Amino acid sequence: MQPPIRNPNPRLEFLKPLLNDSTKQFLAQHRTGRTDFSDFESIFTRLLQDHRPDPPLELLWFYSAVVFHSSKQDFGEDSVRLTRSLFQMLVPLSESFSAAKRAATLSPLVYNLSRLVKTRRREEVSELLDAIVSYVSVYCGDEERGGCGGGGGEDDLLMVTGFSFADLSRVWVVDEAGVGDCLETFMPFVGERLRREVGSESCSVGCLAGIVASQLLLLNLCLRFDSELRKDLRESVVQMVNAFHSCYFSDGILKMLLVEPYLHLTPLLGPEDEAALLETITEAVIESAESLFLNPGSGNDQRSLQLKNIAINWLFLFAKASLRYMNMFSHSRVPYHLVNWVISQGEVIRDVDTLLNSTPVSFIEWLLSLEEQGLRVFDCDHSKNYAKTVVHWSRPDLSLEATLLKQQDGVDQDAEMADHLIVSSISISSGSSTRKRKEERLDKEGETKTKLFKLRHNNFQEKARLQPFVFSDRLVNGTEVGVSDMEL
């Protein structure tokens, strides 16, 4: 993935050395047994006020960390009430933030919740976790405030000074004994590859927000999980996934389902229950993604690009999932978004019906063919390589190219039979012209495959009036609809 273009803000340049020095001093003082960090509180309170209404998240996280550690003595052994106080502190401090930034702000809270789920009675944690999940679904999924490229800063870097999120996590995990990888401890349900993305200086607010929301969903589901009530569990999963309606959440949960061989929930559920929950989440995510593409909204380029990337990840998930989901794929309108996006890039497509009735692997193969022809379909090499792997390991009969070649072979066989009948009924001399026609047909075979998806744009536009949805606000079939780099 290419890192975003950095636009250094001179007003924030001093924050990197300040945060580095403050982190070192805090850790050194904590090792001596100190529990009062009021001097840090006063410094960072002023900094937060100076940068209102939209201070960098790193300032807010360091401030909340020192307040949290200073407050431990006041709450004694009641770690649930201490964590609730952290939530009650973060909410008002982030009330002026975009939807994505509000969700990203809760990252330290997720860490503390994960510790509670492992160490405390689940009944004590369930009520608090329900309240946090409700907050995220109500206040952090507002599309107009940045949930899907609405101008709320989803693509902003965590901080222009380049202070690493991994460095900051050390302040939160300071009480953990024998910590190796601080970020792994801080995000126990996130795999190594996604942690590298979060720990890089090019990590965006939207990327972190998606991972935070996904972790909250997983924690809440772990508390609700009961292997004897899987029907009810499925309904709960569908409801919660739909409640987290935003591009950054969809992108985050899709990445976690694709990148992770498992969701790191075995300590909470055991391997069999984790596998059952994973299957339920996968089905719910596949279903819920549909609503992102049917929701009326702005037709700006950024939104279309984000949805294009989510649609590709959605295809990847279908290719990875079992065949039981193929009926859902055949009735989905998500592929129409990719078709329309391709057209918006100046490409023209021929056999739309064959394309839209193909398998997920065949659709991915078509996208790869467009990439090879020069269209930038995949925004990072990881995603492109993942697509190649999917196609390579798929069965030959699932390949769109193989299907088309089979159709071509059928045409050739029919032509050969006709030629044979002609040869049988006329002189041998006329057979030379028949062979000539066959040779010409073979010469044109490569050209036929090359032009398979190319035709006049107007042909598709005529069909588009009948069924596909589009990017901008308009009516399709009487319904108003609208249309991250993935590190795999």
User: Residue 442 belongs to what domain range?
Assistant: 402-449
Angle between helices 230-243 and 122-139 in degrees, nearest 10: 40
- Pair 291, 407 in one domain: no
Q: What is the DSSP string of 12-36?
A: GTTHHHHHHHHHHHHHHHHHTT---
Domain boundary among the residues 265, 295, 325 is at 295
Tell me, what's the pLDDT at 289? Answer: 84
How many Å separate Cα 33 from the centre of its chain?
41
Q: Are 141 and 152 in contact (CB under 8 A)?
A: no
- Burial of 201 from C-beta contacts in 10 A (0-12 / 13-18 / 19+): middle
- Pair 79, 223 in one domain: yes
- Pair 78, 196 in one domain: yes
SS3 content of the chain, % helix, strand, coil (to 5): 70, 0, 30
Count other C-beta atoms under 10 Å from residue 126's C-beta. 14
Residue 70 included in any domain: yes
Residue 345 included in any domain: no
- Pair 290, 418 in one domain: no
State whether residue 475 is helix, strand or coil. strand
Q: What is the DSSP string of 180-224?
A: SSHHHHHSTTS-HHHHHHHHSTT-BHHHHHHHHHHHHHHHHHHHH
Residue 53 included in any domain: yes
Residue 55 included in any domain: yes
Total domains in the fold of the chain:
2
How many Å separate Cα 276 from the centre of its chain?
21
Give backbone dihedrals phi and psi of 409, rounded to 5 degrees, phi first: -60, -40
- Pair 420, 283 in one domain: no
Residue 377 included in any domain: no
- Pair 408, 291 in one domain: no
- Pair 77, 207 in one domain: yes
- Pair 408, 274 in one domain: no
Q: Are 483 and 471 in contact (CB under 8 A)?
A: yes
Q: What is the dihedral of CA 65, 71, 77, 78, to 10 degrees?
A: -80
Residue 288 included in any domain: yes
Divide the 488 residues of the chain into consecutive groups of 10 and give the mean pLDDT of each group. Answer: 42 78 92 90 91 88 93 88 94 91 94 86 84 90 49 56 74 81 87 83 84 92 73 81 87 87 78 85 87 63 83 90 78 89 88 87 94 91 89 64 52 48 39 45 43 36 32 26 32
Residue 231 included in any domain: yes
- Pair 55, 173 in one domain: yes
Tell me, what's the pLDDT at 466? Answer: 29
Domain boundary among the residues 264, 295, 326 is at 295
Residue 36 included in any domain: yes
- Pair 240, 95 in one domain: yes
Tell me, what's the pLDDT at 299? Answer: 53
Q: Are 135 and 244 in contact (CB under 8 A)?
A: no
- Pair 287, 417 in one domain: no
Among candidates 42, 31, 128, which has minimal Cα distance to 84? 128
The β-bridge partners of 157 are 204
Identity of residue 347: E
What are the C-alpha distances in Å from 186 to residues 80, 172, 199, 341? 18, 8, 11, 38
Q: Structure tokens of 74?
A: 């006041």
